[in-house]
Structure 1
Amino acid sequence: MKNLFILLLCCVCVACAKYPGVPEKYHALLDKALEKAGANQTELVKALKTAAPEMKEGVAFLIAYMPERDLTSMTGDDLLSNVQLAYEARNRFAWAKSVPDSIFLNDVLPYASLNETRENWRADFYRRFAPYVENCKTLDEAIAAVNRNIRDEVKVDYNTGREKPDQSPFESMRQNMASCSGLSILLTDAFRSVGIPSRIAGTANWHDNRGNHNWCEVWLDGKWYFTEYYPNKLDRSWFLADAGKADPNDRMHAIWASSFKPTGESFPLVWDFNIKYVPALNVTQRYLDIYKQVYNEQLEGGNYVKMKVMMYKDKRNTRKSDDRVAANVDIFCGKDQIGGGRTAGPRQDMNDVLEFVVEKNKEYTLYYFDKDGKWVGENVKVKEKPVEVKLHL
């Protein structure tokens, strides 16, 4: 029995000596990760050994769960710099200190969100955004401060002329343009640079097959909320009605949130469905619940009514099902988009109608492409009663 005890004690000592200061739960994961790193193993081990004691778990977490592309290429200096700056932000701001370790490790510390080009953005963003949150007393104040100032700080706008959809921060800033995915990566990195937990959320395809969209989520008081590069209130955006019709059981029509730590699922990247190394969580149900709550509150409050929208071939054909056309329609109130959807085509049930919930006594503009490919808008005044709108190509 004595010999067995000594043997076990020796095993424990060997394990501790191998990764001193690193929690034991990472040891086996590190063994596997470092084996995959191949010739780059020395770089990662250097970061692990030279990290300050309070940062060793952060370095271990990233190495243990990073994709193989990063295991074989990331330098020890880059890895250590990312970790040091993340901890510096956490220690600097009181509200960042309150973030649980599990959330900090998975949603503040990571150096990337999706498959974007790896860059050392954290130092630049920390310098840019720390002044905006310096005087914030709460996490929600800090979220609002970053959200409110990011566009003017980085000078990037949505533009379909961008080079690629999955741009890194500096790629977007060089062009002053990005896709919704690029904007979301920018915003998530800005949040993370000052200790705010953030991740990418999105869908590969809306319920009516209008295409994909990505946005951001932020963690606040134990819950995740969604926001965008062009901000509204938390958990409020033009796409909420679409998100409220997502299908949790359909990978393409569900809503996913990115993760650094593996989840057993992967984020569907529409620009390359073969990429499977971006972990994700299916968060569809939360969006269904939020939309149901908002929808009911609007209608029960008495200040909103339904607007039903149908599209027809031309003005003369507005009676028969066969004359209907499936087309994308976006709805704006002034300069602000408040929703979007796809009208029902000829083979859909006559009761299947594009529907918006709109505020009474306001004017809205419905935008769509006509038969000549021209972007047109039709103004609709809403008074006290529900509205039925017939558009034509």
Structure 2
Amino acid sequence: MKQIFIYNSIMNKLAILIVIILSTWGCQSKYPGVPATYNSLLETAFTNAGKNATELQKALSESPKEQREGMAFIISHMPQRDLSTIKADFLLENAEYAYKARKKYTWCATLPDSVFFNEVLPYANISEERDPWRKEFYSRFAKYVEGKDDLVAAVMSIAKNIKDEVNVKYNTKRSRVDISPFQAMKENMATCTGLSILLTDALRSVGIPSRLAGTAMWTNYKGNHTWCEVLIEDEWKFIEYYPEALNKSWFLADAGKSDPNNMLHWIYAASYKPTDMPYYAAPDGRIIEVVDLNKLPNKVRPQFEEMKASMANSDKKETLAWGVNVTQRYIDLYHESIKNSPLQDDELMANVVVFDNDNTSKSDSRTSCRVDVQLSEKNINFGYSPRKTDDMNQFLQFKLKKETKYKFVVSHPESKINKEFTITTGNNTTQDIQLILK
């Protein structure tokens, strides 16, 4: 019996070893130094690159061992436009200086590969021309972070000095919205998208994870905007080319009034790696794919109709940048800023929620609508009330005057909601206002 047991034990171990060997063989990478998970992605990329495949293969094979997975990541998720045009030398130089920054700066060396690959290593942000900016920017901006161990100090040093370093200022006469770094420096001008591309690339050049963020249209329809985000201690914070401080800028009030139910008004962050949707804040007109033009206000409809016509007559239907919906974070930041700002003696904080019915204790009774606040028939503020899925402690907040009569206009065109409420505020520092539709 003992011999049989030993025999069976040996055979079981042998069977397990065979399974492991076969599994390992089946998962072997076709590309030395690159995890097998990239096999199919790289094969597809090389096929789609056509005649330019040899350049991409050269970039991969000539990458130093420690850079090879990063190069595989870049090639695997490269837009079609770049697959057929970008050369090996461009990619190798971009990777060389990105990895130099990773080796030199502590904040970059400690990043997970997933963040380094997606928010430091990419050679472009959205649809801008592909300039070889990495080497020059590494040289230009290293001096501003020299000797700095604090990442916030490094970010602010870059942001405060970049306009003088590159000699680019805000000007609507720039040649294109998504102007590339070198073209912006040649013209000495850019608008918010081009300025944000410059700042993001400058931050990435010294190993600081950064990405574009923006909206295709504010909820008050006064325009769009683009800015930068940086990752600080695993938390994304925003910063502008003309900086105030992290998470502080003129646009926060507009961003905080974003409509979480309307993609036109979402806040998007850009991603090099594919997500479940494009970066709809990009200036290439992709947002018109998900917008019903008939529901737009007359003052902005011609702009979107022009975008639609331009898209129909061009080949710009490829996704050049992917997006992440970060709307709620900006709504939360705005409401947090309201809470942290002191109330005047004659002010109170109004906590507003809209309900479908009088069962105000249930989250399912809430409905997300636009709420406009009017004083003497003049609109003084607006926002979007919490949704059914939001925390029950979340409110739409307004600073209002005490003992004052206000009109609250609740609207949701698609649900045919349009109702007015007249409410007089009390004398306390806070007041809960429940707007019940039925």
TM-score, normalised relative to structure 2: 0.68
1:248 is aligned to 2:260: yes
1:96·1:139 contact (CA, 8 Å) conserved in 2?
no
Q: CA–CA distance in 2 between the matches of 1:91 and 1:304?
A: 56
* TM-aligned CA deviation for residue 94 of structure 1: 1.7
Q: 1:349 to 1:262 in 2, by over 3 A?
A: farther
Counterpart of 2:379? 352
1:288 is aligned to 2:341: no
1:95 is aligned to 2:138: no
* TM-aligned CA deviation for residue 192 of structure 1: 0.3
1:265 is aligned to 2:292: no
* TM-aligned CA deviation for residue 95 of structure 1: 2.1
Aligned to 1:90, the other structure's residue is in SS state helix
Aligned to 1:210, the other structure's residue is in SS state coil
Q: CA–CA distance in 2 between the matches of 1:357 and 1:185?
A: 35
* TM-aligned CA deviation for residue 35 of structure 1: 1.1
Q: Deviations over 1:231-257 (max 9, x none)?
A: 011000000000000112211111000
Aligned to 1:280, the other structure's residue is in SS state strand
* TM-aligned CA deviation for residue 15 of structure 1: 6.3
Among residues 30, 45, 48, which one is paired with 1:36 in the alignment?
48
* Count of residue correspondences: 318
Q: Deviations over 1:116-150 (max 9, x none)?
A: 00010000100100111111112112111111110
* TM-aligned CA deviation for residue 352 of structure 1: 2.9
Among residues 36, 46, 63, which one is paired with 2:58 in the alignment?
46
Q: 1:173 to 1:264 in 2, by over 3 A?
A: same
1:229 is aligned to 2:241: yes
Q: CA–CA distance in 2 between the matches of 1:357 and 1:225?
A: 25
1:276 is aligned to 2:303: no
Q: CA–CA distance in 2 between the matches of 1:86 and 1:104?
A: 9
Among residues 207, 211, 223, which one is paired with 2:219 in the alignment?
207
Among residues 72, 75, 87, which one is paired with 2:87 in the alignment?
75
TM-score, normalised relative to structure 1: 0.75
1:212·1:270 contact (CA, 8 Å) conserved in 2?
no
Counterpart of 2:98? 86
Q: CA–CA distance in 2 between the matches of 1:41 and 1:14?
A: 25
Q: CA–CA distance in 2 between the matches of 1:230 and 1:53?
A: 39
Letter of the structure 2 residue corresponding to residue 135 of structure 1: G
Q: CA–CA distance in 2 between the matches of 1:245 and 1:156?
A: 31
1:1-393 map, 5 Å: 9=21, 13=25, 16=28, 18-268=30-280, 269-273=282-286, 274-300=317-343, 302=344, 350=377, 352-354=379-381
Structure 2: 5+ residue stretches without partners: 1-10, 287-316, 349-371, 383-397, 401-438
Q: CA–CA distance in 1 between the matches of 2:23 and 2:46?
A: 20
Runs of 4+ residues deviating >4 angstroms: 1-15, 302-306, 354-358
Q: Deviations over 1:8-52 (max 9, x none)?
A: 957855864621110122111111111111111111111111111
Q: 1:12 to 1:32 in 2, by over 3 A?
A: farther
* TM-aligned CA deviation for residue 96 of structure 1: 1.8
Q: CA–CA distance in 2 between the matches of 1:248 and 1:303?
A: 33
Q: 1:10 to 1:247 in 2, by over 3 A?
A: same
Task: Calculate the aligned-residue CA RMSD, in Å.
Answer: 2.8
2:79·2:319 contact (CA, 8 Å) conserved in 1?
no
2:229·2:238 contact (CA, 8 Å) conserved in 1?
yes
Aligned to 1:216, the other structure's residue is in SS state strand
Q: Percent identity?
A: 47
Q: 1:8 to 1:304 in 2, by over 3 A?
A: farther
* TM-aligned CA deviation for residue 265 of structure 1: 0.8
Aligned to 2:341, the other structure's residue is in SS state helix
Q: CA–CA distance in 2 between the matches of 1:4 and 1:32?
A: 33
Letter of the structure 2 residue corresponding to residue 82 of structure 1: N
Q: CA–CA distance in 2 between the matches of 1:22 and 1:304?
A: 64
Aligned to 2:264, the other structure's residue is in SS state coil
